Structure formats: structure tokens, C-alpha cells
Structure 1
Amino acid sequence: MEYYTTAYSASKTSATIAIKQTSIEFGITPETDESLPNPAELFLGSFSSCILKNVERFSILMHFEYTTAEISVKATRFEKPARMDEINYILKVHSKDNNLNIDLLKKNIEKYGTIYNTIKLSCTINGSIEKISD
């Protein structure tokens, strides 16, 4: 499989990533720090979306139903060289289904997630999954 994106920026304003039929604006100046995501936040968003995509994928393969899933991600940045040093996440899966095996879901996410596996080569990832029965 191959993936393709394009991106462009305008001096002293912002930048945009074009992916298929979607555009994602991101900040490149201090003035946009509070209003637009920065590249590090987009990176963590990619990590989050990888995990959520795999929840959906494995709900089919593992035969469980869920209503929603949400993930919170926090990262620690190392200064020299500038890089992510540690990523921590909490994934909450809302489900009443007894077929939901949290341990197996976590194992599958960690084994088959493309972004997850790419990131774990360069930094520590710690995570937990909670089943929320509402």
C-alpha cells in the first residue's frame, strides 16, 4: 500500500494538508498556537486515529459491538534532539457486549496498527483500554 498527501503554507499565516477530498489547516506561527493544531498535535492525532480505526476493524474480526470509542493521548517532548519521548493513552470503549475482550483488543492494536508500530520504533508508548458499560 502507498499513501499520498500534499501540503502547502503561506508565509506568516498558516498551512494546509490536503488528503483525498479533505483539507486540514494547521498552525505555523505563534499567533495560531491557541486556534490551530501544530505538527506535534497532528502527529498525535494520527496516532489516535490509527487506534480508533483499529477498534472498528477489530470489532468486526472479534465479533463485538460498541457504541462509541474515545481516546485521550498525552506526549512528552524531549528537547535535544527535539522528538517525542513518551506517549501515554487511555482508550475508552463504550460497550455492553460480553464478547469485548479488552486484553485481546489491546494486543491486536499493538500488533497490527500501522502508525502505532511506526511510532513504537522511536519512543515509548504506554496505554490502557477501559470498557465503559452505559
Structure 2
Amino acid sequence: MLDYRVQARRIDDHGSEATTRDARITLDTSMAGRPDAFNPAELLLASLAACMLKGTERVIPMLGFSLRGIEISLHGVRQDKPPRIIRIDYEIIVDTDESDARLDLLHRNLRKYGTITNTLDAATALVGSIRRKDA
């Protein structure tokens, strides 16, 4: 079993911060919002993207998959009552010469073995695709 620890604290009415190990991130907890920090919903989406990117680093050596780069775009939809994310759409864009079948294999691995991916998939509609980066 792995466990994770994060500490968070309010700085003022414009924001907060979270820390873990030697890392620190500014949080948008202001009622007015702030452009220089992620709000809680954006952090959730960033967590999903980070999970997929970390998963990529884990599986590409196992699959012998060659890539020059990878990008992930995400879109979350929030309902008001009760407030919750009801859907997350994502697109994974891979700069690679691998075949379409190998792209699909990478996508299946990212969906199947990601901690955050599996957690969110159980809680909301998680819909996405993978494609090759345009030349």
C-alpha cells in the first residue's frame, strides 16, 4: 500500500498553498478567483493529466514505445446542484511514428493502470481519445 500526504493552509482571502516533501503549489481559494493559481476543479484536471503523463513514463519502456512528446487537453463539466464534476473529456496528443494500434495500446494502458484515472473513472464520466500529433 502507498499513502500520500499533503498539507494545505490559508494564506489570506486571496489564496492558499499546499505542500508535500519539498514541493509547494499556490491554490486559488479566493471567491473572486485568481489567474495565477489553479482552482480546485483545475487541480483535479491537472491531477488526471499528471497521472496520465506519469503513466506514460512508466509504460513506454515496457512497451518499447517511441515518442518525441505528449500533450493532454482536458475539459471538466460541473453541475451546480449538488456541485460536482459530472464529466471529464480529454484528448491525448502524441508526437510519434508508432502505428495506430500501438497508440491504442498506449491509451489502454494509461486508462487501466492510473491511480487517479481509475479513481475518477469510478466517480464520473471519463471520456477521452488519443491521436497522433499533426505534422
Alpha carbons of structure 1 residues 99 and 61: separation in structure 2 relative to 1, 3 Å: farther
The number of equivalent residue pairs is 134
- Give the Cα–Cα distance (whole angstroms) in 2 for the partners of residues 22 and 38 of structure 1: 18
- Give the Cα–Cα distance (whole angstroms) in 1 for the partners of residues 7 and 68 of structure 2: 34
How high is the TM-score relative to the length of structure 1?
Answer: 0.91
In the alignment, what sits opposite 2:105?
104
8 Å CA contact 2:14, 2:34 repeated in 1: no
- Give the Cα–Cα distance (whole angstroms) in 2 for the partners of residues 13 and 106 of structure 1: 38
8 Å CA contact 1:17, 1:25 repeated in 2: yes
CA deviation vs aligned residue, 1:96-134 (integer Å, no higher than 9, x gap):
245971111111111111000000111001100012265
Q: CA deviation at 1:55?
A: 1.3
In the alignment, what sits opposite 1:116?
117
Q: Does 1:95 align with 2:87?
A: no
C-alpha RMSD over aligned residues: 1.7
8 Å CA contact 1:62, 1:99 repeated in 2: no
Give the 5 Å matches for 1:1-134.
Answer: 1-98=2-99, 101-132=102-133, 134=135
CA deviation vs aligned residue, 1:48-97 (integer Å, no higher than 9, x gap):
10011111111111101211110000010011111100000000111124
- Give the Cα–Cα distance (whole angstroms) in 2 for the partners of residues 98 and 13 of structure 1: 48
Alpha carbons of structure 1 residues 118 and 4: separation in structure 2 relative to 1, 3 Å: same
- Give the Cα–Cα distance (whole angstroms) in 2 for the partners of residues 39 and 122 of structure 1: 16
Give the AA of the match of 2:67.
Answer: Y
CA deviation vs aligned residue, 1:11-39 (integer Å, no higher than 9, x gap):
31210110221100011113443332101
Alpha carbons of structure 1 residues 100 and 62: separation in structure 2 relative to 1, 3 Å: farther
Structure 1 residue runs of 5 or longer lacking an equivalent are none
Give the AA of the match of 2:115.
Answer: T
Give the AA of the match of 1:70.
Answer: E
Identity %: 30
Give the AA of the match of 1:38.
Answer: N
8 Å CA contact 1:96, 1:133 repeated in 2: no
- Partner SS for 2:111: helix
Give the AA of the match of 1:90.
Answer: E
